[in-house]
Structure 1
């Protein structure tokens, strides 16, 4: 059959290993980490589980085999991610951000850069290697990151400036970042490497003036503040970072002038994983409440599952989970076919699944009633975690919906392309008010 939703034998093995890891190694530490008041402590409590995940290949398995990775496909990543996010999506985000940081080197880096930085990532004997995806910036006027590709000069758009010091063969970084994950490392002295989106041409717009900088741990001029305290995904670390006359060699720059395409492709790669993460959390909420409904009587003479309203409510949740899993798989399969250039279907899956499954988790909570608010039970955490999905990974309103819109308004867009698994055109399409910019594309890279 051309369409087959049956996992292969290797995929079933991946699923079993990921499920055993999530239940037996990750699960026992999640509660204490989520309850920790200090967010850096919560992150640090994940280190033991992370080392085991690294040994299993979950931290770098998406990298090509040529550089020490496992060459795991996007579809295989779906299988792994659902099992881990069903236990803790915050921990899964730590793993995902390694990909957001390192996959741009696979797509845009030189061969020398790949050999140097990717091999280091896959060959850490201690299994502690972390990569930071350092893009997001603090809110302000101007501020934030959603309009990273705005055609105006600084200070709009990305404000971490990298000035080329040609005489010394270096770039000098000045500015701040807020929200990047993993960037502070296990000890707040830095991840092993930070891939930073910087402004190399402050006078140019974000569509031509952005580039990527490789900032290794120990680089002078980088200071890490306390991580942001969040009500969801508390086990992953989101940093506040200051760069002050931070110098890196020229060889640590890549994608010069194409940082906008790096951002777009990275969040296209991650979108199906964010979609399946929503499935994982909703699945856990549904299974817990289904079991609850089969034993809880609410003061009646039989378990509440025997009431039609309860049965219908849970059936609707189950349908949404199955539909969203299929959508996530479709987007991942499309990325596998087109070198992670699913710039339309990726955002579609991420937006749809994150929005609809947040509602599904709340619907499951309504079956439990006030008992769902009890912090000794897991439902309140599932809701907190589900709240994050529409807001993170480029944000549904901030970037993902706008990217989808940009693809659709391209004159060459075929509305049946996704149905046929055909490549959709993608280029530099912001702002919509300037047609000549919208039509000038550099193609998917």
Structure 2
């Protein structure tokens, strides 16, 4: 039997998250944009959202990003997708700051030892403060080809000296707990950059224990959208951490990173669904309340209705694929394909849907007083971050198609006899 109905527990969770989003995220943009007295620096915009993040911690939304079996409150990926959609149906930047901690913790969840879990999860399970986690992956020269044999690989490198790893390089995030993807050059032949790739945990305590110049925030690129999200460029210069901090050894790091971004692909698809929901709700209300000089509301114009139908159909189709991908993640041989496809469909459909909403409303949608310009700026990042659809995701699907054992419909219907 095929059943798209949520369980009573899932419905209760979704309703609780929706309530949190309505209470805490609905006014977030007015906080960090503050158009009457704009906050010019990214640090100020990011920090303006700290009270919202603190409320997310109190509500258990950070603890829920750690699985129950590891002491958290998290469930399967489908539940994370429900949370993401509810957040993005209301707001983006504040939502990304909350959800980014889940991405940062994922390598630790997947590869950490019980001792590492006990040490590093503690601030995220207490339900107090504003603990952040990040996945330190992106580099200024790009990371799409980090594991390609013979390439230069990550420019962030670590060398083992006695009982410490010494990290140097360029990266772009900092948090309470950071999972730093890097190369250990002497661990494999020079051309085998995948074999050299490792993940090492860096904490704020580690940074404080080093010289001041070992960790430097160099800059923060101003982005078109998501203007309160945190993404500074960081430099490590001979930063020393204990051997205990090695999370994924050379040769295993690339696998952990790829599995992390497979799960997150599904959630980016859910972000797109949430943004399409927000777009549809706003433009439907506009079409029902605006006459634009006509004797009837715009909803009665066929050209307007056609655009509304396209937006709603994309939203429903993308959600169905996100849910299917979430259910298949880690359970079938080629379930990753659906995760990547959910990311592509959800993200690209979100961009097209916001554009259609702007076309529907017309030139007044170009006004800063309308939400559609902000929605488009925020939606544009979905196809290009978390593994760009061109540089990463479509290539991952191509590799699956090229697998000799690939059965196109096995993930859909199960193994074919």
The verdict on a shared fold, with TM-score over 0.5 as the criterion, is yes
The aligned runs of 1:208-247 (5 Å cut-off) are 208-218=195-205, 219=207, 220=210, 221-247=214-240
Match of 2:147 in 1: 149
- Partner of 1:175, secondary structure, is strand
Match of 2:95 in 1: 92
Match of residue 115, structure 1, among 118, 122, 127: 118
Quote the Cα distance in structure 1 between the aligned partners of 2:391 and 2:122. 34
Match of residue 165, structure 2, among 164, 171, 189: 171
Quote the Cα distance in structure 2 between the aligned partners of 1:289 and 1:64. 37
How many angstroms does 1:400 deviate by? Answer: 1.6
Quote the Cα distance in structure 1 between the aligned partners of 2:12 and 2:242. 43
Match of residue 155, structure 2, among 154, 159, 162: 159
How many angstroms does 1:398 deviate by? Answer: 2.1
Match of 2:370 in 1: 377
Match of 2:407 in 1: 414
Match of 1:280 in 2: 274
221-230 or 305-314: bigger deviation: 221-230
The aligned runs of 1:11-410 (5 Å cut-off) are 11-34=10-33, 36-123=39-126, 125-126=128-129, 128-138=130-140, 143-152=141-150, 156-165=152-161, 168-178=162-172, 180=173, 183=174, 191-201=175-185, 203-218=190-205, 219=207, 220=210, 221-256=214-249, 257-335=251-329, 337=331, 342-410=335-403
Deviation readout 1:82-121 (Å, 9 max, x if unpaired): 1111122222222332222212122212221122112332
Quote the Cα distance in structure 1 between the aligned partners of 2:340 and 2:314. 18
User: In structure 2, do the counterparts of structure 1 residues 23 and 422 end up closer, same or farther at CA, with 3 Å as the change threshold?
Assistant: farther
Quote the Cα distance in structure 1 between the aligned partners of 2:218 and 2:90. 28
Deviation readout 1:372-418 (Å, 9 max, x if unpaired): 11111111111111111001111111222222222221111111122
User: In structure 2, do the counterparts of structure 1 residues 204 and 251 end up closer, same or farther at CA, with 3 Å as the change threshold?
Assistant: farther
- Partner of 2:309, secondary structure, is helix
CA RMSD of aligned residues (A): 1.9
Deviation readout 1:131-181 (Å, 9 max, x if unpaired): 01101000xxxx21000101126xx1211010111xx31111111113x4x
Instruction: Assess if the C-alpha contact under 8 Å between 2:65 and 2:102 holds in 1.
Output: yes
How many angstroms does 1:193 deviate by? Answer: 1.1
How many angstroms does 1:28 deviate by? Answer: 1.6
Q: How many residues align?
A: 402
- Partner of 2:185, secondary structure, is coil
Quote the Cα distance in structure 2 between the aligned partners of 1:422 and 1:114. 36
TM-score between both structures, scaled by the size of structure 1 = 0.86
Unpaired segments ≥5 residues, structure 1: 184-190, 424-445
Deviation readout 1:250-288 (Å, 9 max, x if unpaired): 110122122111111111011111001001111111111
Q: Please identify which structure carries the higher helix content.
A: 2
Instruction: Assess if the C-alpha contact under 8 Å between 1:73 and 1:336 holds in 2.
Output: no
Deviation readout 1:277-317 (Å, 9 max, x if unpaired): 00111111111111111111111222111111111111111
Instruction: Assess if the C-alpha contact under 8 Å between 1:278 and 1:353 holds in 2.
Output: yes
Instruction: Assess if the C-alpha contact under 8 Å between 1:68 and 1:123 holds in 2.
Output: no
Quote the Cα distance in structure 2 between the aligned partners of 1:422 and 1:172. 47
Quote the Cα distance in structure 1 between the aligned partners of 2:224 and 2:359. 21
65-74 or 407-416: bigger deviation: 65-74
TM-score between both structures, scaled by the size of structure 2 = 0.92
How many angstroms does 1:335 deviate by? Answer: 1.6
Deviation readout 1:309-331 (Å, 9 max, x if unpaired): 11111111111111111111111
Deviation readout 1:330-380 (Å, 9 max, x if unpaired): 1111126459x8421111110122112211111011110011111111111
Instruction: Assess if the C-alpha contact under 8 Å between 2:265 and 2:386 holds in 1.
Output: yes
